């Protein structure tokens, strides 16, 4: 197993200025897909679970899935609890084995947020886990958490004090990004990322990654956004692909649910570790595009079924398609983001 830590994964990405995909899963199929995609792309990956996903599946079952699916995997993987305002859920996940959490107290006054984040960092350290912190809500509701109203951005001074006093490992500022689908091109505050990283070098989490352009990704990653969150794009791909499968089943009057996960044949694999040789091809043979192509697709935009149907080979200009933790030959993308270690070309 190659379960790594958030700090190990993002600190290197921050130092070398590449982005590590942090992707929200919603069930076993999407967890398998994200892990398989990471193996195929030879990239580290941060698998994220929302509080809603933890509560709906249960932390015990979810963590058992994680343990079995990461057994034998040979890329660095991290299990992260996304946007969690509930201290009890944080404790439950840390005790279960999550090794990274985002304590989201952005609705609280900064002083109280800071006080509680200090406690969460101390608690996480007892488990060898790491913490992402935030002091402003990212616009948009994700899995029941958040608000559609843009929150005020705190000053650089307040942000730095929060980072330094709490000892968080990753910081998630609001920079004009948003959860969900962008209705128009977002106006991003690149300067804020630059100011933060210049004043206090810390890996920055980029939330609301679904729908940003390759150029926006490249610039933000170059400035220090080492953790690149993708949630909406995967949800849309998953739902639209499921719909396409159901329509196909209806048209053929064939109702085998196993075909939807590419597991109808006896050789189908349940191990993401085997994905490079097996699962993606098996899924395509079965006529239901296997999910391992999701995270290796070139652009995490919500314009979807096309994404899902693309080749599993990542495009050259995807700014975070490989993380560099599995060195082969250093490479430089067209966007100018330095990377190394991409086995899937």
The residue number whose beta carbon is nearest to Zn ion equals 207
Among candidate residues 224, 115, 105, the one with its CA nearest the CA of residue 165: 115
Name residues contacting Zn ion, limited to 7-26 (CB under 5 A). Answer: none
Q: Are 337 and 321 contacting, i.e. CB atoms less than 8 angstroms apart?
A: no
- Phi, psi values for residue 251, rounded to 5°: -65, -35
Nearest-approach distance from CB 327 to Zn ion, in angstroms = 30
| Active-site entry in 11, 28, 74, 82 | 82
Residue entry with tokens 């490992």: 169
CA dist 315 and 180 (Å) reads 24
Q: Residues binding Zn ion: what is the number (CB under 5 A)?
A: 2
Name residues contacting Zn ion, limited to 99-138 (CB under 5 A). Answer: 138
Tokens, residue 325: 């933790």
Tokens, residue 235: 């949800």
Measured on CA atoms in the order 133, 139, 141, 143, is the torsion positive or negative? negative
Q: Which is nearer to Zn ion, 138 or 170 (CB)?
A: 138
Name residues contacting Zn ion, limited to 291-320 (CB under 5 A). Answer: none
Q: Which is nearer to Zn ion, 152 or 251 (CB)?
A: 152
Nearest-approach distance from CB 233 to Zn ion, in angstroms = 13
Nearest-approach distance from CB 205 to Zn ion, in angstroms = 8
Tokens, residue 48: 């994220």
Nearest-approach distance from CB 145 to Zn ion, in angstroms = 9
Q: Which is nearer to Zn ion, 48 or 275 (CB)?
A: 48
Nearest-approach distance from CB 179 to Zn ion, in angstroms = 6
3-state class of 117 per DSSP? helix
- Site pattern 133..152 for Zn ion (x: CB under 5 A): -----x--------------
3-state class of 299 per DSSP? coil
Nearest-approach distance from CB 43 to Zn ion, in angstroms = 20
Q: Which is nearer to Zn ion, 106 or 268 (CB)?
A: 106
CA dist 290 and 176 (Å) reads 34
Interaction between residue 207 and Zn ion (CB under 5 A): yes
CA dist 17 and 338 (Å) reads 7
Measured on CA atoms in the order 219, 234, 76, 99, is the torsion positive or negative? positive
- Of the ranges 31-39, 68-76, 183-191, 204-212, which one interacts with Zn ion (CB under 5 A)? 204-212
- Of the ranges 11-19, 116-124, 203-211, 302-310, which one interacts with Zn ion (CB under 5 A)? 203-211
Longest Cα pair distance anywhere in the chain, in angstroms?
63
Among candidate residues 163, 221, 320, 229, the one with its CA nearest the CA of residue 15: 221
Nearest-approach distance from CB 138 to Zn ion, in angstroms = 5
Tokens, residue 164: 């330094």
Q: Which is nearer to Zn ion, 141 or 158 (CB)?
A: 141
- Cα 41 to its chain centre, rounded Å, is 15
Q: Which is nearer to Zn ion, 94 or 138 (CB)?
A: 138
- Phi, psi values for residue 103, rounded to 5°: -85, 110
Q: Which is nearer to Zn ion, 51 or 342 (CB)?
A: 51
CA dist 297 and 308 (Å) reads 7
Q: Annotated catalytic, 74?
A: no
Among candidate residues 265, 298, 256, 257, the one with its CA nearest the CA of residue 284: 265
Q: Rule CB under 5 A: which residues touch Zn ion?
A: 138, 207
- Return the active site residues: 82
């Amino acid at each position: 197993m190659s379960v790594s830590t958030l700090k190990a994964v993002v600190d290197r990405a921050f130092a070398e200025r590449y982005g590590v995909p942090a992707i929200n899963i919603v069930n076993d199929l999407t967890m398998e897909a994200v892990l398989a995609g990471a193996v195929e792309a030879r990239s580290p990956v941060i698998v994220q679970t929302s509080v809603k996903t933890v509560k709906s599946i249960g932390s015990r079952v979810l963590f058992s899935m994680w343990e079995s699916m990461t057994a034998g995997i040979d890329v660095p993987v991290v299990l992260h609890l996304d946007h969690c305002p509930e201290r009890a859920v944080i404790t439950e996940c840390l005790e279960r084995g999550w090794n990274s959490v985002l304590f989201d107290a952005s609705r609280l006054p900064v002083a109280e947020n800071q006080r509680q984040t200090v406690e969460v960092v101390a608690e996480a350290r007892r488990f060898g886990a790491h913490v992402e912190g935030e002091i402003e809500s990212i616009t948009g509701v994700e899995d029941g958490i958040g608000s559609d109203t843009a929150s005020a951005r705190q000053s650089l001074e307040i942000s730095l004090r929060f980072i330094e006093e709490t000892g968080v490992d990753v910081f998630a500022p609001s920079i004009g990004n948003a959860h969900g689908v962008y209705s128009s091109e977002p106006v991003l505050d690149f300067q804020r990322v630059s100011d933060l990283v210049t004043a206090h070098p810390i890996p920055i989490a980029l939330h609301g990654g679904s729908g940003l352009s390759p150029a926006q990704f490249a610039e933000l990653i170059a400035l220090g956004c080492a953790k690149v969150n993708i949630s909406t794009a995967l949800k849309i791909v998953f739902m639209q692909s499921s719909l396409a499968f159901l329509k196909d089943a209806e048209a053929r009057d064939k109702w085998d649910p196993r075909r939807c996960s590419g597991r109808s044949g006896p050789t189908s694999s349940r191990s993401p570790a085997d994905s490079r040789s097996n699962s993606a091809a098996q899924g395509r043979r079965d006529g239901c595009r296997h999910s391992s192509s999701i995270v290796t697709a070139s652009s995490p935009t919500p314009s979807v079924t096309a994404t899902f149907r693309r080749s599993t080979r990542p495009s050259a200009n995807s700014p975070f398609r490989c993380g560099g933790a599995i060195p082969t030959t250093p490479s430089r993308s067209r966007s100018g983001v330095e990377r190394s270690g991409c086995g899937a070309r």
